[in-house]
Amino acid sequence: MIQSQLQGFKAASLYLVRNKRRTLLSLIIVAIAIFAISAAAGFGLFTYQTLERSTANDVGHITISQPGYFEKEEDMPLQNGIDDYLTLKRLLEGSIDSKGIQPRVYFSGLISNGRKSSIFVGNGVEPSEFALREDFIGLQSGSTLSTESQDGIMLANELANNLSVDIGDWVTLLATTSDGVLNAWTLKS
């Protein structure tokens, strides 16, 4: 049995040595295939790890909302919002081990620099959120909001360029309140 296996191995080795060019070409093709599979798998893994990290940093590991928040569109702004979020926040801070609990409000409306207006989609956040996410915020200019700046706003680069707004300029937001009434708020960028 061992003798026949050795003869088979010897015959295969002789065949590989006999036609060196074909053997070298086969090895190169196998190496390219292994490299391509490894690169594709690495790209896929990197993509999913980046999405996981991005999602955790953007919306958090756990999202708490009212029943129906994801199923149907709101008739009025904040209709599906959590009414007493401060009580819920205090309850969660005492019962789970977390880096932070950050309430958010998503809203949209018009933003104006006084001469030009544009549609926007915004996130209302507490300034303490930036302390948790400071490593992941890619600021190109200016600084994050702080608890001292009561009427501050951070604008995306494209929106600021579109409105020709620089750091320290004032902008006006026009949005609908939870009662369905239009309201304007002037903020410093």
**Helix, strand, coil abundance in the chain, percent, nearest 5:** 40, 15, 40
* 110 in the same domain as 171: yes
Any domain includes 82: no
Please tell me the total count of domains within the chain.
2
CB 162 within 8 A of CB 118: yes
State the first-to-last Cα distance of the chain, in angstroms, to the nearest integer.
83
Quick: pLDDT tens for 99-134: 777 788 888 889 998 899 899 888 887 777 766 666
d(CA 114, CA 35): 56
Mean pLDDT of the chain: 81
Any domain includes 81: no
Any domain includes 125: yes
> What does the pLDDT read at residue 134?
63
- Which position has the higher pLDDT, 32 or 166? 32
- The candidate with the shortest Cα–Cα distance to 60, out of 103, 14, 111, is 103
* 163 in the same domain as 110: yes
- The candidate with the shortest Cα–Cα distance to 165, out of 133, 118, 125, is 118
Any domain includes 22: yes
Cα 51 to its chain centre, rounded Å, is: 7
Any domain includes 75: no
Any domain includes 158: yes
Domain that holds residue 123: 102-188
Any domain includes 21: yes
Quick: pLDDT tens for 4-23: 777 877 887 777 778 888 88
* 52 in the same domain as 109: no
* pTM (global) more than 0.85: no
